[in-house]
Amino acid sequence: MPSLFSFLFAFAVPAFLHAQSPEIVIADFESADYGAWKSEGEAFGSGPTRGTLPGQMRVDGFAGKGLVNSFLKGDRSTGTLTSPEFKIERRYLSFLIGGGGFIGETCMNLLVDGQPVRTATGPNTKPGGSEHLDPQFWDLSQFAGKTARLQIVDRATGGWGHINVDQIVLTDREPPRDIVNAAREITAEKRLLNFPVKTGAPKRKVEVLVDGKAVRSFEIELAPDQPDWWAPLDISVWPGAKLTVRVDKLRSDSRALESIKQSDDLVDGADLYRESLRPQFHFSSKRGWLNDPNGLVFYRGEYHLFYQHNPYGWNWGNMHWGHAVSKDLVHWEEVGEALYPDNFGTMFSGSAVVDWKNTSGFGKNGEPPMVLFYTADGNPTTQCMAYSTDGRTFTKYEANPLVKEITRGNRDPKVIWHEPTQKWVMVLYVETAGKKHTVHFFTSPNLREWTLASITEGGTDNDRYLFECPDFYEMPVEGTRGTKAWVLSGANSEYAIGSFDGTKFTPEVSKLRGHRGHGFYAAQTYSDEPKGRRIQIGWGQMPSPGMSFNQLQLFPCEQKLVKTAEGLRLTWEPVAEIASLRKRTKEVPAFKLEKSTSNKLADFEAETVEFRAEFTPAPDAIVALNVRGIPVEYDAAKQELRVGDHRTSAPLQNGRQRLTVLLDRTSIEVFASDGLIYVPMPATPKAEDRKFELSAKSGSAEVSKLTLSELSSAWSR
């Protein structure tokens, strides 16, 4: 009589052994040719493709370096690729597939006895989509032992008329499946919940639920295994609560959900602010992407810097308002997210004011509130408000939105107080018919009710004059007694100067150029600056590849409005507070710089610096500064400034040139012509090159001032 043991043995063990059978790789497409596979027509060529083909969106998700990619000669080519016969010796056939989603036209078929018995396609049938290859598999148990062929087909000639295939494997291990709404319960015990991020992994929607209600929701490239970095979510507002973390779709072999962990500090923060590409005296977020500065306001002794923030990714997305504070515009402390996405949408750019007279009624105990204005990027796109009396916690206005959608995508409210009319003024970017960029002006007595007062027109379509992120402010004209003028600018920093009566802006000059570099965008100026200065911060589009953070805010600049021969113009200079970062300064007494002059900066080595020089060049002079391998040159004959490969005119001022250069790990900012010319640029000097050189490439120059300061890290306190 068979015992229970032998019964189990008889059935269970052979299956178990069977499950151990090694995989059979039918094709990995890593060789230069297709081997015994037969390629017919033009679409597949004579061998596998190595990644993306010219004119194709980025192909990823394949294994190794090669794959089948029938985009050869574009979508219009057709063909078939047929495998040699193989025996179905395992239960499953797994493979990676992407490209067109047309059954019978962009597909892979399995033929048994010459008959198609299985087929699979890519996911795309309409414009957009992705060239990502996803895993699929067929259960072939019913064909065990039979011989079969695979046929990869591209019969389609229009959009998505191609198919991508890779890594075809016979296996007994059940291939991973997608689990819909995978979930995990976590009791909130610490401050942060850390999510594993891998840039390039499929984007998943994550929701955090408390009592069955989604309290946070975002998209994240969840790392299935080893993450690039951990994205922290603040859960301190729900101490002791049972949190459910739900992921819309997760592969069954992903370890993402189980690896989510709690901590009080960043789990991977040992190197924080010392990372190789971490800006040392520019603000960047501890983790994730940032773009526009938002809500720049001085409130209760602190400069506030809010910013467009994706806390969960290296790229743009999930717009939150991140938040940092500083006493001196130089040393910042990141204090967490101020605004989270909500039912109105994600939190796009906007501004902040101090409501000194408590016109809004949000003030408490005689304390004027700080009030934030932002765009909720939902459908519709609306303007909303939030307020705070402690500068740390923010309450969204219960009667949001303040301004309904005018046209889709209207955005970036900047609010100011207009003393003469005792009203608040909001400028808002609105695209009107014919892709016209406009700034709509609204007024309000109390920040709650807004009335459209006037419209100023900017450029059309690709002419980005007054396109998004408007800023509007009045400035004294330097060297006059009390003359003032109004400045209206857009995200690319082109601006107009004119007058304003409380309802309508009348430009006197329009479309003046702002910065002269690259990667300066969406700047905003401070509200309520205590010294009455006009201080501007621009988003520096300077990437930090390979880091757990990306992009930076450029160094705060003091703006002035000066009279020039051409009329009124803005100038930019780094704020005086930069002085607090000077660690050591080399000061060179006045001298004549000639071709033969030895390098006065030869004995100075540093990483992050501030360089200042004033010189009167001979008419044929080229004064060349080498900043850790980055050339900054002034050509007196052309009155031209060159930063790396970039050129811009920079007129001498009374025969004299004054240059200021700020160098950080991923940026360089050059100020010339008494601040009229501001050239911010992405730049990543070689870590090992710490040298500086000043020379005359031709001609000579009387150098009246020359200093080079090593700047200490703003994070080292």
> Annotated catalytic sites, by residue?
292
Distance CA 228, CA 195 (A): 11
x/- map, 367-386, ligand FRU, by CB under 6 A: --------x-----------
Shortest Cβ 291–ligand FRU spacing (Å): 5
Verify binding: residue 551, ligand FRU, rule CB under 6 A.
Answer: no
Distance CA 706, CA 699 (A): 18
Shortest Cβ 467–ligand FRU spacing (Å): 8
CB nearer to ligand FRU: pick between 143 and 348: 348
Verify binding: residue 349, ligand FRU, rule CB under 6 A.
Answer: yes
Shortest Cβ 347–ligand FRU spacing (Å): 9
Shortest Cβ 292–ligand FRU spacing (Å): 5
Structure tokens given for 573: 């200079």
CB nearer to ligand FRU: pick between 412 and 614: 412
Verify binding: residue 351, ligand FRU, rule CB under 6 A.
Answer: no
Shortest Cβ 193–ligand FRU spacing (Å): 24
Verify binding: residue 431, ligand FRU, rule CB under 6 A.
Answer: no
17: helix, strand or coil: helix
711: helix, strand or coil: strand
Verify binding: residue 412, ligand FRU, rule CB under 6 A.
Answer: yes
Distance CA 539, CA 554 (A): 6
534: helix, strand or coil: strand
Using CB under 6 A as the binding rule, the residues of this chain from 319 to 338 that contact ligand FRU are: 319
Verify binding: residue 308, ligand FRU, rule CB under 6 A.
Answer: yes
Shortest Cβ 321–ligand FRU spacing (Å): 10
* Helix H or strand E encompassing 703: strand 701-711
519: helix, strand or coil: coil
Using CB under 6 A as the binding rule, the residues of this chain from 172 to 191 that contact ligand FRU are: none
Verify binding: residue 627, ligand FRU, rule CB under 6 A.
Answer: no
Distance CA 22, CA 567 (A): 79
Burial of 409 (C-beta count, 10 Å sphere; 0-12/13-18/19+): middle
Please give the DSSP secondary-structure letter assigned to residue 380: S
Using CB under 6 A as the binding rule, the residues of this chain from 494 to 523 that contact ligand FRU are: 521-522
CB nearer to ligand FRU: pick between 348 and 362: 348
Verify binding: residue 411, ligand FRU, rule CB under 6 A.
Answer: yes
Q: Which of 312, 321, 348, 634 is in the footprint of ligand FRU by CB under 6 A?
A: 348
According to DSSP, the β-strands at 549-550 and 288-299 are: parallel
Burial of 358 (C-beta count, 10 Å sphere; 0-12/13-18/19+): middle
Distance CA 565, CA 544 (A): 41
Verify binding: residue 228, ligand FRU, rule CB under 6 A.
Answer: no
Q: Which of 468, 558, 610, 664 is in the footprint of ligand FRU by CB under 6 A?
A: 468
Q: Which of 154, 292, 558, 664 is in the footprint of ligand FRU by CB under 6 A?
A: 292
Distance CA 521, CA 515 (A): 9
CB 656 within 8 A of CB 646: no
By rule CB under 6 A, what count of residues binds ligand FRU? 14
Distance CA 622, CA 631 (A): 12
CB 338 within 8 A of CB 351: no
Verify binding: residue 469, ligand FRU, rule CB under 6 A.
Answer: yes
By the criterion CB under 6 A, which residues form the site for ligand FRU? 291-292, 308, 319, 348-349, 375, 411-412, 468-469, 491, 521-522
